[in-house]
Structure 1
Amino acid sequence: MQEMKIHSLMHRRFKKPNTHVDYLQRPNLIKNKPKASTWRADITYLELRPGTWVYLSSVYEPKVHKILAYKIGRQMNAKLVVDTVNQALEHHKRPAYFHSDMGSQYTSCDVENLLRRHQIFHSYSKQGYPYDNSQIEGFHSLLKREFVFQTHFSSFEDLILRISNYINWFNTERIRTSV
């Protein structure tokens, strides 16, 4: 690697805002159902510029290794999640299960009611244990390592466009390994 002047890209460490969950643990319905039709969902922080955060809400389909829907917002709230799930439902067959962490956005009445209306069971990761939702966490990690940490965004609109391009590339061209 030295001879060819190749080096690894290390990601920047940053301090993201803290979150806290006040809910009792809800059930992980898919723990013993690896073949169940399940969408995975999560929100990740993206730094637009130092100290300015935006949020990417994503829905991932493990069986096809693709992001089914995503939305980027300036606020991390239930509306961001509802909009993302609605986008996925508009274009894809409804799953039996929807798996997420226990963040306030996912435990909100708005998200719970949306899933109930579409007869989708809501499964939850164990609090403080991101490995239960490793596939979507893995995608967000790849997105940041391969793209976000090496990119300067000139505006919110630039970030949206460039993240959209990355997700399109991820879904259509990137070599598949399990995320």
Structure 2
Amino acid sequence: MSGHLTNHRWVYLATVLDPDKRKVLGYKIGNTMTTELATCALQMALDKYKNPLIVHSDMGSQYTSAEFNIKGHNYDLKHSSSLLGHLYEEVYFKAYQTLTEVQAAIG
């Protein structure tokens, strides 16, 4: 998910979901959308929920990267993805001024 702050800078939210419970298992917020951001969200999910079987994300390149998929494979995870254009975010409707404000709201 991406959105812009009131100063026109961008903020990115990487999430890993449990598709059955429709619950966020892990997330990471940053000022760039990278494989590392997505992998940190996956690691949070693995740390919090020791044996998730399936994780869900969108089809962004950070989630289809070799690094993300190798990490999931190492934990025997199945990875499902949304269809293009089917996002689950609700923060598009709010205006945030800083990355810290976004982190506080999402956390």
State the TM bucket, normalised to the shorter chain: 0.7 to 0.9
Give the superposition deviation at 1:50: 4.4
Q: Which residue of 2 aligns with 1:114?
A: 71
Q: Distance in 1 between matches of 2:57 and 2:96?
A: 29
Q: How many residues align?
A: 107
Letter in 2 for 1:78: T
Letter in 2 for 1:107: T
Q: Distance in 2 between matches of 1:65 and 1:123?
A: 12
Runs of 4 or more consecutive aligned structure 1 residues displaced over 4 Å after TM superposition: none
Residue deviations 1:36-75, cap 9 Å, x none? xxxxxxxx01212243111011122344443222111111
CA 1:152–1:51 in structure 2 vs 1: closer, same or farther (change >3 Å)? Answer: closer
Aligned with residue 100 of structure 2, among 122, 133, 157: 157
Q: Distance in 2 between matches of 1:160 and 1:114?
A: 25
The structure with the largest alpha-carbon Rg is 1
Q: Distance in 1 between matches of 2:57 and 2:101?
A: 28
Letter in 2 for 1:118: Y
5+ residue gaps, structure 2: none
- Structure number with higher strand proportion: 2
* Alignment TM-score, normalising by the size of structure 2: 0.81
* Alignment TM-score, normalising by the size of structure 1: 0.52
Query: How big is the alpha-carbon RMSD for the aligned residues of Structure 1 and Structure 2?
Result: 2.1
1:143 aligns with 2:91: yes
